[in-house]
DNA sequence: GTTCTCTATAACAAGCGTGTTCTATAACGT
DNA sequence: ACGTTATAGAACACGCTTGTTATAGAGAAC
C-alpha cells in the first residue's frame, strides 16, 4: 500500500519525451499515433513510454475504435509536488505567508 | 544556459537513497561518512550518489579538515516544482486562487 | 471473412546506472 | 616524514532502459 510510487513518478519524469507527452495530454486525450507524430522516435518506442507513464499512474487508457486513448492522471504529480513542498522553505521565504493563505484563514495586509 | 536540468533533477529524485540524502541534508550539512552511515550501501556508492546530486545542482560541497560537507541547494527543486505547477489545475481547483495570491498583489478578503 | 488501420509484443543491441572491492589521494596530527 | 582518517577513483558485474525492426493481435469497414 505504501509502495514507493515516487520512484516510478520521478523516474517517469526524468525523460524529456515523457514530460512532453504529459504536456500534450494536458490539452486532451490522444491516441498513440497522434502522440508519436511529433517525436523523432518510432511508434513502439512511444508505446513503451506510455507503458512507463501508466505504470507510474500518470496516465490511464481507454479504447475508441482501434485507437487507444491516453488520459492524463495528475494525482501522482500532486504526490511528487507534495514531496517537494517539504523544501519550499529552502528557496522561498514567501512560502510561509503562502502557506498561511492556503490554510484557509483570512489574508492579512502585507504590512502592519 | 537553457540546458534541460529537469532531466538531471528528476533523475536524481528517482532514487530513494538520494531522496533520503536530501531529506537528511535538510537538517544541516553532513560529511560523506555520516551520510553513508544509515544506508545499507558502501561509502563509494554514497559518494557516487552525491556526485549525481551535485551534477543536478541539488547539493554543493565544501571541505572541513579531511571531511567533505554536502550542502542542500534547493533551487533545482524549485524548478521541478515550477514544472509540476503547470498541472496543479488538474488536481486542485484551489490552484487558481493560489496563483492569484502568488502573483504578488495584496491579498484580498476571501469573500466580497 | 478479408482487408485495412492502429497498437502491442518479441527479439535484439547498446548505453547507462548502481552496486561491489580495492586502491589512490588529501588533509590533519604527531 | 609518517601514520591515521576521510573521501574519491578505477575496474568490474549486472540489470534496467531506450531504441531499433519485424511481426502479431484487435477492431472497423467493406
- Using one digit for the tens of pLDDT, what is the confidence trace for B63-98? 888 889 999 999 999 999 999 999 988 877 666 665
Q: What is the pLDDT of residue A95?
A: 61
What's the mean pLDDT in A55-73?
92
CA gap B100, A110 in Å, rounded: 15
Strand partners, B61: B70
Chain B window 19-58, residues with Cβ within 7 A of nucleic strand D: 31-34, 43-44, 47, 50-51
Q: Which nucleotide is nearest to A39 (CA to C1')?
A: D19
What's the mean pLDDT in B39-66?
94
Q: What is the pLDDT of residue B112?
A: 33
Spell out the residues 6+ positions from residue A37 whose beta carbon is closer than 8 angstroms to its own.
none
| SS3 per-residue string spanning A19-60 | HHHHHHHCCCCEEHHHHHCCCCCCHHHHHHHHHHHHHCCCEE
Chain A window 36-95, residues with Cβ within 7 A of nucleic strand C: 43-44, 47-48, 50-51, 61, 66-68
Considering the entire predicted model, what is its pTM?
A: 0.82
Q: What is the pLDDT of residue A47?
A: 96
**Cell numbers that stand for B75 in this block:** 533551487
Amino acid at each position: 500500500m505504501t509502495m514507493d510510487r515516487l520512484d516510478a513518478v520521478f523516474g517517469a519524469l526524468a525523460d524529456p519525451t515523457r514530460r512532453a507527452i504529459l504536456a500534450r495530454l494536458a490539452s486532451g486525450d490522444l491516441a498513440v499515433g497522434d502522440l508519436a507524430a511529433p517525436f523523432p522516435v518510432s511508434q513502439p518506442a512511444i508505446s513503451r513510454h506510455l507503458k512507463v507513464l501508466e505504470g507510474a499512474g500518470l496516465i490511464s487508457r481507454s479504447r475508441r475504435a482501434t485507437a487507444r486513448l491516453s488520459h492524463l492522471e495528475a494525482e501522482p504529480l500532486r504526490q511528487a509536488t507534495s514531496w517537494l513542498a517539504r523544501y519550499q522553505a529552502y528557496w522561498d521565504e514567501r512560502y510561509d505567508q503562502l502557506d498561511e493563505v492556503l490554510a484557509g484563514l483570512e489574508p492579512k495586509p502585507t504590512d502592519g
